[in-house]
Amino acid sequence: MIEIKDLHKSYRMGSNSLHVLKGINFTAEEGELVAIMGSSGSGKSTLLNILGMLDLADSGEYTLDNVPIKDLSETKAAQYRNKFLGFIFQSFNLINYKSALENVALPLYYQKVGRKERQEKALNYLERVGLKEWATHLPSELSGGQKQRVAIARAMAAEPKVLLADEPTGALDSKTSYEVMDLIQKINDEGNTILVVTHEEDIAHMCKRIVHLKDGVIVEDKKIEQVRAQQYV
């Protein structure tokens, strides 16, 4: 599903150049649930941004679902993001003046799905995250865990190839964190490919594979025994 070869990325900081990714090689198969771990500055967010086509690599190859990702125009990148990727952010990033339903429907709007179909689909995904009754509520009326579930529904609504979660539990207490992870595991059980960036060990162990980043290189890549979040809920 995802294939990365010798990825390099550096940032210019004034006169200094900061080499963040120093040759990353990484593949993820369909249906994998991968945790990307590392301390801050390890390059994990940069890697996720490049995977999410929010940022461009300096060199290296990136193939997503057999589509080479390179030389993207803004418009093309937007189309690919819409088609291939679903984002889950630490701070949820819901649009605060739109109801939960409208938020979930937004990616479908950009896919030019008709209004009625969009609403049906969005409601369906809200139901799957257990928030059907909250469809008409604004994000400000929801708890943190509920917001993140709306955000997950939104990420799934466009039926992307890969879900990218950047510290999805970073802003949540541990109980809600486990609820969110339980949801992510269930989505993964259905065969979706999910990449989770986190620095929390317990969250990482709820994935099926852990990739450790340190100073811009992968230092460890191991399959693990998945801890089900269900038992903590």
Partner 1 sequence: MFDRDIWQEIFHTLRNNKLRTFLTGFSVGWAIFILVMLLASVNGMQNGFTNQFNDDATNSIFIRPGTTAEAYGGFEAGRRIQLKNDDYEYLKSSFPKDIEYISSRYFTGTTARYKAETGSYSVQAVHPDHQIIEKTLITEGRFFNDADVQNRAKVAVLGRKVAEDLFKDEEPLGKFVEFNGLPFRVIGIFTDDGDDNAERRIYAPITTYQRIYGNTNIINQVVLTYNPTYDLTRALEFSGKLEDLMKRRHKVAPEDQAGINVWNYAEAFDNISSFTTVLSAISIGVGFLILIAGIVGIGNIMVFTIKERTKEIGVRKALGAQPKQIINLVLLESVFITAISGFIGLIFAWIILSVIGPTIDTPAFSNPSVSLSTVITATIILIVAGVLAGLIPAIKAANVKPIVALSDK
* Separation between Cα atoms, residue 102 and residue 159, nearest integer Å: 16
Half-sphere exposure of residue 128: CA atoms within 13 angstroms, side-chain side: 19
Burial of 112 (0-12, 13-18, 19+ CB in 10 A): exposed
Residue 163 has which token pair? Answer: 């879900």
Closest distance of CB 82 from partner 1, Å: 2
* Residue with Cβ nearer partner 1 (122 or 229): 122
Choosing from 1, 8, 65, 89, the residue that interacts with partner 1 (CB under 8 A) is 89
Burial of 136 (0-12, 13-18, 19+ CB in 10 A): exposed
Choosing from 43, 52, 145, 168, the residue that interacts with partner 1 (CB under 8 A) is 52
Choosing from 25, 90, 124, 226, the residue that interacts with partner 1 (CB under 8 A) is 90
- A 10 A CB-CB count for 88 gives 26
Contact flag: residue 63 with partner 1 (CB under 8 A): no
**DSSP state at residue 31:** T
Closest distance of CB 208 from partner 1, Å: 25
* Residue with Cβ nearer partner 1 (10 or 90): 90
Q: Which stretch binds partner 1 (CB under 8 A): 24-32, 74-82, 179-187, 201-209?
A: 74-82
* Separation between Cα atoms, residue 37 and residue 212, nearest integer Å: 5
Choosing from 1, 54, 72, 217, the residue that interacts with partner 1 (CB under 8 A) is 54
Contact flag: residue 10 with partner 1 (CB under 8 A): no
Binding to partner 1 in span 117-136, by CB under 8 A: none
Choosing from 59, 97, 130, 219, the residue that interacts with partner 1 (CB under 8 A) is 97
Give the contacts of 53 (CB within 8 A, at least 6 positions apart): 69, 72, 77, 80, 81, 85
| Binding residues vs partner 1 (CB under 8 A) | 49, 52, 54-55, 74-75, 78-79, 81-83, 87, 89-91, 93, 95, 97, 106-107, 109-111, 115, 154, 158
